[in-house]
Structure 1
Amino acid sequence: MEKAIELYGSAIKAISTSGVPLRSRPTFVYCSTMECYQSFGGGNERAVSYPFLGTVIAPASWQRYITQHELIHWFQFYEIGAVSTMMKPEWFREGMAYVYSGAPESDIPEHYLPMMKRYSDWHSEKSWPKVIEQAGHL
């Protein structure tokens, strides 16, 4: 339990320090067994976020960068809307989440690297209110 609390708190702090205006503190469940993870509907992914419900982290995924990645999805759900977020291009949804996750490049699937670049180029010098506004037009 201590490790889960530390991961969640340090991820919230890292996301806030990076400038992302995270206004929501979603519920996270850190499963220590695959049985736990699967009981929440998890499969082979590292984590799953359910809009309006919470996020479930798989037992092998207890890393701060995975928590940060999922917090970015919650930021998207909160600011853009859950359904609207899911309708955005993958380069936006996953590019943003990977950019702000702090994941080591060696642990980012290669096909997401160009999405991260595209998101970073698109975000560039935009303020967060402008990012949110323009995301509505993607």
Structure 2
Amino acid sequence: MKLRLNLLAIFGVIIATAVLYKPLRAFWPEKVGMDCQDGRVCVDQAQYAFQAQNLYSRALSFVESNVGTLDKAPQIIFCKTDLCAERFGLGKRSAISLGPWAIVIGPRAWKDYYVRHELIHSLQYQRLGILKMRQLPQWFVEGMAYSMSEDPRTPLSQPFENDRAEFESWFKQVGHDQIWSAAKNLSES
């Protein structure tokens, strides 16, 4: 009986967390009305599925050719509407990467460089681990994503423009072949 109550309590906490912490909904997008035809790319409006799949495919190919190969490509949710973005808790953000597992793209982020940026974050999580990602300086995490996604916006708002410049300076010294091993030696100062 006590085991059942404990399991029920744990299940309740999981459900409550998924309801209250909206980004977790990305792990069950069909439950909030998303159309996930291939299991990897989900859209809130089915007529945009082809466009979303093309964006994802191009971005994945770019990242794997220019930054590094993902062990497993994450699920990606494309929101065409603000209501969809709100369902996943984007708030003012254009997109969000949920570790190595999932990405949510908001209505303003249906651009190659946004999708590449979030895939780079997923790659960072895969190569460096979730715990290490929490210890890395922002200039590395965000600077790498802005720089290596070839984000054309210049200047970026601060602090992101400085993050990109600092990453690019560091990257010139380290080089592509040593990026992951050198990143493991970085820590937030």
TM-score calculated relative to the size of structure 2: 0.66
Q: 1:137 to 1:19 in 2, by over 3 A?
A: closer
Letter of the 1:94 counterpart: E
- 2:159 alignment partner, SS class: helix
CA RMSD of aligned residues (A): 1.8
The unaligned stretches of length 5 or more in structure 2 are 1-48
Q: 2:108 aligns with which of 60, 81, 104?
A: 60
Instruction: Name which of structure 1's ranges 114-123 and 64-73 shifts more when overlaid on structure 2.
Output: 114-123
Letter of the 2:93 counterpart: E
CA contact (8 A) 2:88 2:104 kept: yes
Aligned equivalent of 2:78: 30
Aligned equivalent of 2:97: 49
Higher radius of gyration, 1 or 2: 2
Q: 1:18 aligns with which of 61, 66, 88?
A: 66
Aligned residues: 137
Structure 1 Cα separation of the partners of residues 80 and 165 of structure 2 = 34
Instruction: Name which of structure 1's ranges 72-81 and 103-112 shifts more when overlaid on structure 2.
Output: 103-112
Superposition deviation, residue 86 in structure 1: 2.5
Instruction: Name which of structure 1's ranges 14-23 and 75-84 shifts more when overlaid on structure 2.
Output: 14-23
Aligned equivalent of 1:79: 127
2:175 is aligned with 1:126: yes
CA contact (8 A) 1:24 1:75 kept: no
TM-score calculated relative to the size of structure 1: 0.89
Listed as ranges, the matches of 1:87-106 within 5 Å are: 87-106=135-154
Structure 2 Cα separation of the partners of residues 94 and 76 of structure 1 = 10
- 1:102 alignment partner, SS class: coil
Superposition deviation, residue 90 in structure 1: 0.5
Aligned equivalent of 1:112: 160
CA offsets per residue over residues 32-87 of structure 1, 9 Å max, x none?
11111111121110101112540100012100100000011001000001231122
Structure 1 stretches of at least 4 aligned residues deviating more than 6 Å after TM superposition:
none
CA offsets per residue over residues 2-56 of structure 1, 9 Å max, x none?
1100100011111123243333311100011111111112111010111254010
